[in-house]
Amino acid sequence: MTLDSKIPAGPIQEKWDRHRFDLKLVNPANKRKFEILIVGTGLAGASAAASLAELGYNVKVFCLQDSPRRAHSIAAQGGINAAKNYPNDGDSIWRLFYDTVKGGDFRAREANVYRLAQISSHIIDHSAALGVPFAREYGGTLANRSFGGAQVSRTFYARGQTGQQLLLGAYSALMRQVGKGSVQMFPRREMMDLIVSQGAARGIVCRNLVTGEMESYSGDAVLLCTGGYGNVFYLSTNAASCNVGATWRAHKKGAYFANPCFTQIHPTCVPVSGSHQSKLTLMSESLRNDGRVWVPKNPQDKRSPEQIPEEDRDYYLERRYPSFGNLVPRDVASRAAKAMIDEGRGVGPTGLSVYLDFSDAIKRAGESAIREKYGNLFDMYHHITDENPYRVPMRIYPAVHYTMGGLWVDYNLMTTIPGLFCLGEANFSDHGANRLGASALMQGLADGYFVIPYTLGGYLAQAKLPKLSSSAPEFKEAENLASEKIKKLLSIKGKKTASDYHKHLGKLMWDYCGMARNAKGLKNLLSQIPEMREEFWKNLALTGSGEELNQALEKAGRVADYLEFAELLAKDALHREESCGGHFREEYQTPDGEAKRDDEKFSYAAAWEFKGVGREPALHKEPLSFESVHLAQRNYQ
C-alpha cells in the first residue's frame, strides 16, 4: 500500500479552506443515522465527542477511568498556544507555524502544522465561551506567558492547571450531550480489539472493567483518542493508566505506526528518589520563564546552593544559548542537563539533578507574584520533596513526558484503515521529532473541535457501509480472542509480577533508548526485549479471575502490549541514522554536541506495517517536503 497523505493542493494558506469546501457534506437529517465510536475522553476525545454530537451524529464514548473528566489531559499544567498576537509582540499564524516546524526539527508535515496554527485562535475563543477561567489582565483581557522554543508570548493559561480547565470545558460540553441523550458514555471500559470488516473499521470490542464482560459495539467510524505511550519507559510523567493498547491493537489490524522513536524527555521534572517510585512529576515548563537553571562550576563543589556564590555557578543554558536562554526547546534543555550530569556536576543526594532557581524572580517581582503564577506547582513540589522552593532552589531532572510518534494519519486524520481516525497524542501528525511546550493541548483540541467534524463527514458522505450488527461473527471472534488472551495470562501462575517486567523493560528503554541512543545499545536492547517477552508469558504472577474488577490483570495486559511495542520503537530508533529533535543518536552530532539531521536520507515519516509479533515490520516512507519553511539546522544560540 502506498501512503497517500491527501494534502490538498494550492498555497499553504488556502489548503484548509479549499479542502473544507471540497469535502462532501452529510445531510443534517442523515447524521443521526451514523454511529460514531470514540475511544478516549481526553482533550481530543471529549472535544470530538461533543462537537460531533452537536452536529447530530450518534456517539458512543469509552474510557478507562470512572469518569471522562479524569483522562490524563487533566494533568497538563503550563498552557496552550495560540497565534492571537494579543500582546502585539510580533506573533502571527505564520510565526506559530514556523516555530512548530522548526521546533519539530523538520520532521512534521507542513500542511498539517499550518492548519493547526490557523485553528489555534478558535480554540481559545471556544474554550473561553465554555467558561474556562483563563488567567486575565486587570483590564479583563486574556493574559499570556512565554514557553520554550518561542520568542513571543503566545501561551494562554489557567494558573498551573490549564489542562484541567480545558478538559473540564470539553467534559462539560460532552456531559451536556450525554444529558441530551446524543452521547452514550461508557466509563471503565478498555478497548481490546478493533473490528475491521470489508476493509473498513466498523467496531470495537471492550472489556467492562467492573464485570470483566466482553462487550461489542458496532459503528460507522472509530476514533482513537487514547493518548501517548510514554509509559513504555515505566517511569514517566504520564498517569498510571496511559497505555499503547488501543493503538497497538489497531496497528495489528493494519494501521501503520509512524515514528515511534520520537519520544520527548521533559527537562523539568522532580528527580527520582527511590526504587518504589510509581511516577515522575512534571514541573511545568512555564517555570523556565522565571526560574534559572544552574549547576556548580566545579564538580567538587558540595556546598548547599545558597552558599554557592554567583561566580561559582554555571547558568549553562544562558551561557550556551544566549538568545533563548532558559527557554530553549525541551530536547535541547534535557540534553544540556544530561551533559552537566555526565560531567559530574549534578546536584542533590543522587547527583542526578540540576537547580531551577527562583531567587532572582522572587527578588524582582516578590513572592506573592510568583505564588500567583505557580502556586500549585510550588505546593506540589513541596508535597513531594518536603523542601520549600520559595526558599531553596528546586531540583529537577529530565523525564519521559510525551510521545510525538503514533498512528500514521493523513491530512484528514484517518489512519491506513479506512474509517479509523486517530486524534490527539495518539497520532503522529503535527510535532515532528520534538513537540514545543503548550502545543499538545492545542493539537488535541484542534483535532477534536475543528478538524474531525469536517473530515469525518467527508469520509461518511462517500463511504459505502453495509449494515453490520454487533452480533456479527467478526465481533464474536474478536471477543473470543480477547477472552482467550486473558485466560492465558491468568493460567501462567509464575513468579514475577507485571510491574516487575514493566520496571525492567522501562530501565532498558531508558538506558538504551532514552536521552541518547547509539547503534550498539539499541542492538543490545533489541536482543533483550524478545527474551523478556518470552519469559513474561512463562513466568507471570497473576491472581483472581477475568470476571471481576482485576487491576493486576489490566496491568498485565498493558505490559504485554508494551513488550511487543518496545521492539518497534527500538527498531525505528536504530533505523533512523540521524539525530533530530528528541531522537538523539550519539553517532550523529555536530562538534558542539547538537543534533545533526540527515535531510538527504531521512526527510520522511517512517510508517511501519505490522507483520507479526517478533517478525520484521515493513517500512513505508512518507517523504516530507519543506516549501514554506526552509530546512536549516536549528539554532537557539
Partner 1 sequence: MKFFLEVWRQKNAQSQGGLVRYEVVGISPEMSILETLDVLNEQLLEKGEEPIAFDSDCREGICGMCSLVINGYPHGPEKASTSCELRMRHFQDGQTIIIEPFRAKAFPIVRDLVVDRSAFDRVVAAGGFVSVNTGNAPDANCILVPKDVADKAMDAAACIGCGACVAACPNAAAMLFVAAKISHLALMPQGAPERDARVINMRAQMDKEGFGHCANEYACEAACPKEIKVSNIAKLNREFLRAVVCSDK
- In this complex, which beta carbon is closest to ligand FAD, that of residue 43 or of residue 295? 43
Q: What residue ranges in 297-388 does DSSP mark as E strands?
A: 313-314, 354-357
Identify the CA nearest to 72 among candidates 43, 99, 31: 43
Catalytic residue among 330, 533, 558, 585: 330
Question: Tell me, what DSSP letter sits at residue 450?
Answer: I
Identify the CA nearest to 79 among candidates 153, 162, 16, 5: 162
Radius of gyration for the chain, computed over Cα atoms and rounded to the nearest angstrom: 24
Asked if 369 contacts 363 with a C-beta cutoff of 8 angstroms, the reply is: no
- In this complex, which beta carbon is closest to partner 1, that of residue 392 or of residue 619? 392
Q: Taking contact as CB under 8 A, which single stretch among the options 59-67, 105-113, 340-348, 352-360 is the one that binds partner 1?
A: 59-67
Inter-axis angle of helices 452-462 and 43-55, to 10 degrees? 60
Exposure of 38 in the CB half-sphere (CA atoms within 13 A): 33
Q: How far is CA 114 from CA 83, 108, 562, 582, 624, in A?
A: 11, 11, 33, 22, 14
Note whether 210 binds partner 1 by CB under 8 A.
Answer: yes
Q: Which three cell numbers stand for residue 3?
A: 501512503
Report how many helices (DSSP H) and strands (DSSP E) the chain contains, helices first: 18, 19
Which segments of 104-212 does DSSP mark as H helices, in order? 110-129, 162-180
Note whether 368 binds partner 1 by CB under 8 A.
Answer: no
User: Please, what is the minimum distance in Å from the beta carbon of residue 447 to partner 1?
Assistant: 12
- In this complex, which beta carbon is closest to ligand FAD, that of residue 231 or of residue 603? 231
State the DSSP string of 138-166.
Answer: TTSSBP-B--TT-SS--EE-STT-HHHHH
Say if strands 354-357 and 292-296 run parallel, antiparallel, or are unpaired.
Answer: antiparallel
User: Please, what is the minimum distance in Å from the beta carbon of residue 300 to partner 1?
Assistant: 27
- In this complex, which beta carbon is closest to ligand FAD, that of residue 163 or of residue 514? 163
Answer with the entry of ligand FAD, partner 1, none that 274 interacts with (C-beta below 5 to 8 A by kind): partner 1
Asked if 330 is an active-site residue, the reply is yes
Note whether 365 binds partner 1 by CB under 8 A.
Answer: no
Q: Taking contact as CB under 8 A, which single stretch among the options 117-125, 504-512, 600-608, 615-623 is the one that binds partner 1?
A: 117-125
Q: Which residues 6+ apart lie within 8 Å of 575 measured at CB?
A: 606, 619
Answer with the entry of partner 1, ligand FAD, none that 226 interacts with (C-beta below 5 to 8 A by kind): ligand FAD
- In this complex, which beta carbon is closest to partner 1, that of residue 526 or of residue 541? 541
- In this complex, which beta carbon is closest to ligand FAD, that of residue 228 or of residue 457? 228
User: Please, what is the minimum distance in Å from the beta carbon of residue 459 to partner 1?
Assistant: 19
User: Please, what is the minimum distance in Å from the beta carbon of residue 343 to ligand FAD?
Assistant: 28
Note whether 126 binds partner 1 by CB under 8 A.
Answer: yes
Note whether 5 binds partner 1 by CB under 8 A.
Answer: no
Residue ranges binding ligand FAD (CB under 6 A)? 39-45, 62-65, 71-73, 75-80, 162-163, 189-191, 225-228, 237-238, 242-243, 245-246, 282, 284, 401-402, 424-426, 438-441, 444
Answer with the entry of ligand FAD, partner 1, none that 179 interacts with (C-beta below 5 to 8 A by kind): partner 1
End-to-end Cα separation, the chain, in angstroms: 43
Interaction residues for partner 1, span 567-626 (CB under 8 A)? none
**Residues with active-site annotation:** 330
